[in-house]
């Protein structure tokens, strides 16, 4: 896993309080990291719309 993906997972667990079990469920498709991963989390119902927006904000800030 690349460093950005690792930092994204840390953010999801630390700041959004997403349980590791939920992240592991969504991580079945590692190729989705990090760009499609937020949508996978949302499609599985693991994040709210507000959390999804926070994830996109984080990605905008850290991938530029």
Res 3: pLDDT: 87
Percent of the chain at pLDDT > 90 equals 56
Report, as an integer, the average pLDDT of 37-44.
Answer: 90
The CA-based angle 44-26-38, given to 5 degrees, is: 75
Phi, psi of 60 (to 5 degrees): -60, -40
Residue numbers of the domain that contains 27:
3-63
Res 12: pLDDT: 96
Res 64: pLDDT: 62
Within 6-62, strands assigned E span none
**Model's pTM, two decimal places?**
0.84
Domain count, the chain: 1
């Amino acid at each position: 896993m690349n460093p950005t993906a690792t930092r994204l997972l840390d953010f999801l667990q630390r700041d959004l309080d997403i349980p590791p079990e939920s992240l592991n469920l969504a991580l079945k498709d590692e190729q989705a990291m990090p760009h499609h991963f937020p949508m996978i989390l949302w499609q599985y119902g693991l994040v709210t719309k507000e959390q999804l927006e926070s994830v996109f904000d984080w990605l905008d800030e850290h991938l530029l």
